């Protein structure tokens, strides 16, 4: 089984070459300003990719998804793709759960205060997942900004340590792409952000080959 990961495309999705795959995952920030035409453009492109199943979460730029949740679900359903907002889907035998939530910063979409507020979302993450999709990273993993600050969510990391998904895919922090691991947790952590800032451009998708007990690049 081939799983392809993308995130933070910010209206530049047409620049990506997505290979044929079984499951295509977008971890949020498909838009720049979060307007309906951006959502419609993304869904048209996303639905046409050579993947058996497509699933996405929103990100902090994707205001339309928070302001118009019913419209977002309707458009996603009509496009034949799966939209996750603190919920689970079973695709090709894989259990996936996704959330758009990130810690509050700058008045963006799906922002929540750290602590009790954001924990109401993370406590919904179930055990036994194959893939956890969040827009933002956990604390200390793929969360280092160009200023050197680690801005990930400690509460999310604590929950991941509890539920131990096989794969945690996220984006949000463009400067820290790639795979990360912890010595005491079997989860693979991947920041799949495509847009990068220095120099400005686009990274290719992350391609994983599914194996019985692991996700192998």
Give the pLDDT confidence score for residue 174 in this predicted structure: 78
Q: Give the pLDDT confidence of 78-109 residue by residue, as tens digits.
A: 999 999 999 999 998 899 999 999 999 888 99
Give me the number of domains the chain comprises: 1
Which pLDDT tens digit goes with each residue over 103-155? Answer: 998 889 999 999 999 999 999 999 999 999 999 999 999 878 888 878 899 99
Closest CA to 103 of 94, 116, 93, 92: 116
Domain extent at residue 115: 2-216
Structure tokens at 67: 């302001």
User: In this model, does residue 198 exceed pLDDT 80?
Assistant: no
In whole angstroms, give the CA distance from residue 54 to residue 114: 30
Of the candidates 58, 57, 43, 49, the residue with the CA atom closest to the CA atom of residue 24: 49
Q: Which tens digits make up the pLDDT trace of 46-79?
A: 999 999 999 999 999 999 999 999 999 999 999 9
The two tokens of residue 90 are 């079973």
Confidence of residue 215 (pLDDT cuts 50, 70, 90): low
Q: pLDDT grade, residue 199 (50/70/90)?
A: low
> What CATH number did the domain enclosing 145 receive?
3.60.21.10
């Amino acid at each position: 089984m081939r799983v392809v990961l993308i995130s933070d495309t910010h209206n530049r999705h047409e620049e990506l070459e997505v290979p044929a795959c079984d499951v295509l995952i977008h971890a949020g920030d498909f838009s720049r300003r979060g307007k309906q035409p951006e959502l419609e453009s993304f869904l048209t492109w996303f639905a046409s990719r050579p993947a058996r199943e497509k699933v996405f979460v929103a990100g902090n730029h994707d205001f339309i998804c928070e302001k118009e949740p019913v419209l977002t679900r309707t458009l996603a359903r009509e496009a034949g793709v799966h939209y996750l907002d603190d919920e689970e889907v079973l695709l090709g035998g894989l259990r996936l759960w996704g959330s758009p939530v990130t810690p509050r910063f700058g008045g963006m979409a799906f922002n929540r205060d750290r602590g009790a507020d954001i924990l109401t979302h993370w406590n919904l993450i179930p055990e036994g997942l194959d893939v956890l999709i969040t827009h933002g990273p956990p604390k200390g993993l793929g969360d280092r900004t160009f200023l050197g600050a680690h801005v990930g969510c400690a509460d999310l990391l604590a929950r991941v340590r509890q539920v131990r998904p096989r794969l945690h895919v996220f984006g949000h922090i463009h400067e820290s792409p790639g795979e990360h691991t912890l010595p005491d947790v079997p989860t693979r952590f991947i920041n799949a952000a495509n847009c990068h800032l220095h120099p400005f451009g686009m990274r290719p998708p992350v391609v994983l080959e599914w194996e019985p007990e692991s996700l192998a690049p």
